[in-house]
Chain A
Amino acid sequence: MEPRSLSHDEAVRLLDLSHDAIFSWSEADGIRSWNRGATLLYGFTEDEALGRVTHDLLQTTHPIPWQEIEDVLAAEGEWVGQVEHRTKSGRDVLVATRHQIVVIGDERIVLETNRDITAEEQRRANELTRINRELQQHSDQLEAANAALEQFTHMTAHDLRGPVRQLVNLADLALDEDEDELGEVLRMIRSSAGKLDELISSYGRVARLERGDDDEVTIDELVDDALSQLTAPPHVTIERTLSLAADRSLMTQLLMNLLGNAAKHGAKAVVSIDAHAFEDVVHIHVRNPVDPDLHVDATVFAPFRRLASDATGTGMGLAISRRIVELHDGSISASNDDGWFVVTVTLPGAAQ
């Protein structure tokens, strides 16, 4: 069967079913046709649009001067791009447009087919913003991790210089003819070298987060050691202390993290530590004042998690703390107790 060609009315109806805004205009007579998609998009009815100059009606903003578009139209017969239109209600819409030159009789008509891409563009812009924000966060975290590493390196170098300086001096003394206690000097050389070796292995363990041999450690000496290594130590009150069996360097690192954290997050860097033992289990509470509205849950121990008030941390302090506690078969929790940020560490191995 021969396909029947559409009547004029049928063709216009089809045009009206399109969701794209399709209209045509000429230099001399303004807008010549206006489909239903154009009414839906721009809010102007066919009657309101016919005869008007498109650029006035829709307050078109072109990405390039109109003359350049004209040149492309003249040379190629069409121009494809994006323009901004203002709807009847005053909303700005971004449309992907195709301008085509259509010659009917001796009249030169521009046919515009426009698709609203405002929402699409907005989504893309939002996505870009989100990706940028994520990149910025990652970059901040890397920077902070780098700063922490730098500080660790600085601290390590500073600590190692002590015994090295002693060794140089003791060797000088051993070589000095006036030295009459050579055996004593050699004994001290042995002791400084041993101390140096101990420092180096403890850094290795902290870096790898491995538990070494247990020492008998007391909370107050751990706090002292931790405070002496912090650049901005908080003021600490020790309510009660006790001793337990644990890896000294890891425990010092734990206290450094918790106290450093408290100093950074506390409204006032005042920390109180309370330790008590119940059936061989040690409970240590580190408290510092915090915004009473700050939400605190177990996620504070996730790597790279930072509390809202902290713009400087690596987000690793509490994650490393949890790892150290786990290596000692203990547990750690945090809460916001009426404006007190409380970290509770529970460890087995209380000394009798």
Chain B
Amino acid sequence: MTAIAQPTKLISHERRGVQALIFSLKRNPWLVLVYAVLIGYTVISIYPILWMLFMSLKTNPEVHTNLFGLPQSWVWSHYVHVLTTTRVPRYIFNSAWISMVTVIGVLLLSLPMGFAFGQLKFKGSYLLFMLLLAGIMIPGQTTILPLFLQMKRFNLLDSPLAMIIPYIAAGLPFATFLLRGFFRSLPSELADAAVVDGASTFQVFWHVMMPLTRPAISTLVIFYFMWTWNEFLWAMLVMNREIFKTITVGIYTSYQNQYMFDWPLMSTGLVIVTAPVIVIYLIFQKQFIEGLTAGALKG
């Protein structure tokens, strides 16, 4: 469109790759400095992660002779060792299913609340919502001790429920807040039309409104999956049984005990913890960053 009105823009638009880069540098020489800083910081960001990956593929003597570079020969035996002789696969499995159950739980409980607070009018809704929102302000540390005693009283310590239940409860304020905003933005005519056709409020929620919140749901899924996967403090406190340990706690305790000084093996464990998160991040970057931005700027 603009090409017709502004022919100069067309020209600059058609430059691609290196040519465009040189063109932009000629127009604004300061860009060289900008690139230098950004590339410099990118190296700082990425190199430690790559270093960890390289380290996991090196042999033990190589750690001393070749600390910085690529592995001389790519040794996969650490991965074989970690995945076949240790409990790491079990930890991964635990983390995966506990994270998934948490995500599903958060959604199942926060969707109806988000809908009610966002679309329905009822007495006390503002007060109840504010009480819920106060949860975002309560630091995790404040709930830890009574929650621990509560779990003990219910005899839930060392059971996966001791992790899942508090994770879900802690996730509700922010999830409800995000969904409420989303439900509010949907036109109420949608609901009215469905009601005229004879739908109940529940049907309106489930069949009309819910499918429209898919973007918010995908943001929440990724956000909470990663959060649960990375959680450490609570998982460490309530879970002492090896078979239910999550990957963060499992890696931390087992490496503290045995592999502290075996860098390639330790790095292998770290790569295994990190790989799923990085893959999910690379695929769903947009949703993840949107969720964070919403959390920081609106929550």
Q: Do A and B bind each other?
A: no
Residues of chain B at the chain A interface (Cβ within 8 Å): none
